[in-house]
């Protein structure tokens, strides 16, 4: 870990960004050049003190997960991301195989979406980034680790994963998950990991085995109704934007103006994580 070069690189990249570049409001009396340290820390999901110690050459080596979070927060290009990993002393993520480094193009679009839920996922249904409204609607899906970071795995292994979807859609949604895993297994960005997920599900989930034997293949599965614990059913339309290699997808969830679902989403954008009832 090259603490001196790392500190200079982080400071330079932080000062090169403006608040609007990362979806933050730029006040009229702002004196700081670029982003503040606390803003980078917030975007990366770490404490301000820890980030400050990185710039002061006093912090221990960040983990791979923290390194990836810093790359996302600073909106690094792939080359800059590789450089950051090298400075910290980790192997850089593979350019095509599964990576926690979000496509800069998708990240720029995500930063500008503040009035509708949006998230970036991989072809193994790993959620890499979410805007605040998506977290309020779906919960924080980026917190999962290991095989459980895949939505395919969680659907069949974690009952909590199904709480977001009406019970009458569980069958079709499960079939879509199995069909998407099959596509990822044969032509995805990380086929060895897809094979590990498949092996685990075949061993532990009879429901998955039944759906897998249908031999269905799909790139994306539609589910137009979501459940919010406070607001109830919300009907959404999903718009998709892929990277060139289709390894990552920006999912934008919209509602039709004038509908009850649209009103609920507008309310959710105001209350965020607050509960409506005691």
Q: What is the pLDDT of residues 85-136, one digit of tens each?
A: 888 988 776 544 445 678 888 988 998 998 899 999 998 999 999 999 999 9
User: What is the C-alpha to C-alpha distance for residues 267 and 53, in angstroms, rounded to an integer?
Assistant: 39
**Rounded to 5 degrees, what angle do the CA atoms 228, 208, 202 make?**
135
Q: What pLDDT does residue 178 have?
A: 93
Check whether 78 has a pLDDT greater than 60.
yes
**DSSP letter, residue 123:** T
Q: What pLDDT does residue 195 have?
A: 93
Q: What pLDDT does residue 79 have?
A: 63
Q: Mean of the pLDDT values across residues 18-31? A: 73
**Rounded to 5 degrees, what angle do the CA atoms 179, 199, 140 make?**
65
Q: By mean pLDDT, which of 1-15, 138-152, 217-231 is the weakest? A: 217-231
């Amino acid at each position: 870990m090259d603490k001196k070069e790392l500190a200079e690189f982080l400071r330079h990249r932080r000062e090169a960004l403006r608040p609007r570049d990362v979806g933050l409001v730029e006040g009229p009396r702002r004196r700081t050049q670029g982003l503040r340290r606390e803003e980078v820390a917030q975007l990366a999901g770490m404490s301000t003190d820890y980030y400050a110690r990185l710039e002061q050459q006093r912090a221990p080596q960040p983990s791979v997960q923290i390194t990836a979070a810093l790359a996302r927060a600073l909106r690094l290009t792939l080359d800059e991301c590789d450089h950051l990993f090298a400075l910290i002393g980790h192997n850089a993520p593979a350019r095509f195989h599964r990576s926690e480094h979000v496509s800069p193009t998708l990240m720029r679009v995500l930063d500008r979406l503040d009035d509708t839920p949006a998230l970036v996922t991989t072809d193994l249904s790993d959620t890499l980034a979410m805007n605040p409204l998506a977290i309020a609607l779906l919960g924080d899906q980026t917190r999962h680790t290991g095989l459980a970071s895949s939505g395919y795995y969680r659907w069949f292994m974690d009952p909590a994963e199904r709480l977001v979807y009406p019970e009458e859609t569980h069958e079709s949604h499960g079939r879509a998950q199995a069909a998407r895993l099959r596509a990822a297994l044969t032509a995805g960005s990380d086929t060895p990991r897809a094979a590990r997920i498949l092996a685990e599900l075949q061993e532990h989930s009879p429901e998955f085995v039944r759906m897998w034997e249908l031999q269905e293949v799909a790139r994306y599965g539609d589910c137009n109704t979501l459940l919010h614990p406070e607001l109830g059913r919300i009907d959404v339309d999903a718009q998709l934007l892929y990277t060139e290699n289709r390894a990552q997808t920006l999912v934008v969830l919209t509602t039709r103006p004038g509908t009850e679902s649209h009103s609920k989403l507008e309310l959710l954008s105001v209350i965020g994580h607050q509960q409506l009832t005691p």
